[in-house]
């Protein structure tokens, strides 16, 4: 897959999906797959336009990303996208007239087909919409397709709703709309060693700074590294039993005892088990973790 800046000219004919696609959820995939299928059927290349930064920060909002730019790139590559056109969302871009964006799109790229969702907006104040796009594309004899919302439980599937699900611990529901598990990534850091002293060794990673943080609690998970996947139980948040108020991601990997210090790992979250609790004795904590491990095994055995 080729990654290019929006202003880098593309000579090849393109079928392009327009949007942010910040979570590549089921609705995003419908739009993206439309461009991919058109490209394959017509012997041209598929392209996706996306922002490489978090537009919410420019807009003064606190919303975090569901997936980083690099994580989205991997998802788009897996879907079969040929070219990603990346753009920075900044004050200049935000305040451009709607005509400027389309002028730049058409002058820089050989667009043969374009597709977007019915709520796609661009230009200053979001004045650019599907009606304006239809007019501009018709002038250039570019085929244009607008897709309706994808609904779940009579509600439009959106990144903002999925973000709320993750923040509320509704991870199983979020995963259904993302098509695959929400995950956290990081380099394994040194911890307090309490888990190893309990004969339940754990690994720790810090939160990704611009990524949405799941509700504090204990989750059914899988931990991936070195092209291997292990079922695991993951605690997100503080460690009140040990009077440790620092928050990170701590994971016990079942049936693994190696040293992962400073190794990059990916932790997929599958379901929310329980909240964080403070235990009076280490024995109570060990008993609870063993119950969590049983729940993890039961979850994945049930999937089989």
- The sign of the dihedral angle between the CA atoms of 167, 173, 176, 182 is positive
Residue 162 lies in a domain: no
- Report the SS3 class of residue 39: helix
Supply the range of the domain harboring residue 278. Answer: 181-303
Residue 238 lies in a domain: yes
Residues 6+ apart with CB under 8 A from 235: 217, 218, 219, 249, 250, 251, 276
Instruction: Say whether both 116 and 211 belong to one domain.
Output: no
Low-confidence ranges of the chain (pLDDT < 70): 192-197, 240-245, 303-304
Alpha-carbon distance values, 156 to 13, 37, 169, 187, 239 (Å): 32, 24, 20, 35, 37
Instruction: Say whether both 131 and 213 belong to one domain.
Output: no
- pLDDT tens per residue across span 125-142: 889 899 999 999 999 999
- pLDDT tens per residue across span 55-102: 887 777 778 999 999 999 999 999 999 999 999 988 888 889 999 999
- Report the SS3 class of residue 38: helix
Instruction: Say whether both 199 and 128 belong to one domain.
Output: no
CATH number of the domain that residue 19 is part of:
3.40.50.620
Q: What is the pLDDT of residue 240?
A: 63
Residue 252 lies in a domain: yes
CATH number of the domain that residue 227 is part of:
2.40.30.30
Residue 193 lies in a domain: yes
* Count of the separate structural domains present in the chain: 2
Instruction: Say whether both 111 and 199 belong to one domain.
Output: no
Instruction: Say whether both 44 and 111 belong to one domain.
Output: yes
Distance CA 278, CA 272 (A): 18
Residue 163 lies in a domain: no
């Amino acid at each position: 897959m080729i990654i290019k800046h929006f202003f880098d000219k593309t000579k090849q004919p393109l079928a392009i999906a327009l949007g942010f696609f910040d979570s590549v959820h089921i609705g995003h995939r419908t739009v993206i797959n439309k461009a991919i299928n058109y490209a394959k059927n017509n012997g041209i290349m598929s392209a996706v336009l996306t922002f490489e930064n978090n537009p919410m920060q420019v807009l003064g909002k606190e919303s975090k990303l569901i997936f980083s730019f690099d994580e989205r790139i991997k998802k788009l590559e897996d879907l079969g996208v040929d070219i990603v056109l990346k753009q920075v969302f900044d004050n200049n871009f935000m305040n451009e007239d709607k005509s400027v964006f389309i002028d730049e799109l058409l002058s820089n790229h050989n667009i043969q087909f374009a597709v977007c969702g019915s709520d796609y907006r661009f230009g200053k104040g979001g004045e650019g919409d599907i009606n304006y796009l239809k007019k501009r594309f018709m002038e250039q004899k570019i085929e244009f397709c607008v897709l309706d919302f994808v609904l779940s439980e009579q509600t439009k599937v959106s990144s903002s709703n999925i973000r709320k699900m993750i923040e509320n611990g509704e991870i199983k529901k979020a995963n259904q709309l993302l098509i695959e598990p929400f995950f956290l990534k990081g380099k394994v850091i040194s911890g307090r060693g309490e888990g190893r002293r309990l004969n339940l060794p754990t690994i720790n990673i810090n939160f990704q700074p611009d990524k949405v943080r799941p509700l504090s609690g204990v989750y059914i998970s899988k931990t991936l590294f070195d092209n291997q996947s292990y079922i695991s139980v993951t605690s997100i948040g503080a460690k009140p039993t040990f009077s440790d108020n620092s928050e990170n991601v701590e994971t016990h990997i079942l049936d693994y005892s190696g040293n992962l210090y400073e190794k990059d790992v990916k932790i997929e979250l599958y379901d929310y088990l329980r909240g964080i609790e403070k235990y009076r004795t280490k024995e109570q904590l060990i008993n609870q973790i063993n119950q969590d491990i049983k729940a993890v095994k039961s979850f994945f055995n049930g999937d089989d």
